[in-house]
Amino acid sequence: MPSAIRPAPKRRALPSWLRAAEARIRSFICSLPVGFCALALVPIGLLAAQKGRPTQYDVEAVYLYQFGKFVEWPAKTDGPVDAFPICVMGRDPFGALLDSTVAGESIANLPLKAERVDNIDDAKRCRILYISPSEDERIGAILDGLQNAPVLTVSDAPDFATRGGMIQFVLQDDRVRFEINEGTAQKAGLSLSSQLLKVAAAVRGAPAGAQP
């Protein structure tokens, strides 16, 4: 089952400017649909970089990390057994932000690691793969190459979920939300938590008989 969200360990007192940044980030993300506040426990490494309102990619970087907590992963994968790779393919919109977001964090007792990949063979080693819109013309080929591989595919490319991707970021009322293609995830052996499905803007390809 997906890893339970545990409270962050106690930390030393933070400076006032960092406490203020933390409050701004949490307030913004918790303004998203009800229930997603629980998914948005923002790592301090990310908060330290914030000066004001989070950008679209600030929020997406946090979500990439949080998505992994709400997936039941197959017992065996082609990826490394000593790390949990979160990868980017194509033009990287996150830069060092993704690295700082996952630094020191873990899922299923595996340390998170941000990686950049440029081919399908390397992508198969990832647990979560963000496919940049820069790869729009070859997204079909990438998804075909990853077919049935236990890799959670994520993008904000247009129509990504309807083209066979698993999670597509969408902007609604100036908020970052996401759509899910549950059928594609299940074909790859990934079981998505009902908590994640409930806060999605749309769920496509749900198995027959599934509860709404």
Tell whether 146 is covered by a domain: yes
Q: Which run of H or of E encompasses 56?
A: helix 56-67
Tell whether 170 is covered by a domain: yes
Tell whether 142 is covered by a domain: yes
What pLDDT, on the 0 to 100 scale, is given for residue 135? 96
CATH number of the domain within which 161 lies: 3.40.50
Domains identified in the chain, total number:
1
Tell whether 3 is covered by a domain: no
End-to-end CA separation in angstroms for the chain: 20
Closest listed residue to residue 42, CA positions, set 23, 62, 57 = 62
What pLDDT, on the 0 to 100 scale, is given for residue 6? 39
Which CB contacts under 8 angstroms, 24+ apart, belong to 172-181?
A: 172/201, 175/31, 175/32, 176/32, 176/56, 176/59, 176/60, 176/63, 177/32, 177/33, 177/201, 178/63, 179/203, 179/204, 180/204, 181/205
Tell whether 11 is covered by a domain: no
Tell whether 87 is covered by a domain: yes
Q: pLDDT tens string for the chain (212 positions)? A: 444 433 433 434 444 544 444 454 455 455 444 444 544 444 434 444 444 567 788 888 888 988 998 999 887 555 557 899 999 999 999 988 899 888 898 988 899 999 999 999 999 999 999 999 999 999 999 999 999 899 999 999 999 999 999 999 998 877 788 999 999 999 999 999 988 898 888 998 865 444 44
Tell whether 108 is covered by a domain: yes
What pLDDT, on the 0 to 100 scale, is given for residue 38? 44
Q: What is the 8-class DSSP label of residue 200?
A: -
pTM for the complete prediction? 0.75
Domain region containing 174: 60-204
What's the distance, CA 111 to chain centroid? 15
Tell whether 96 is covered by a domain: yes
Kindly state the tokens that stand for 193. Answer: 């938590």
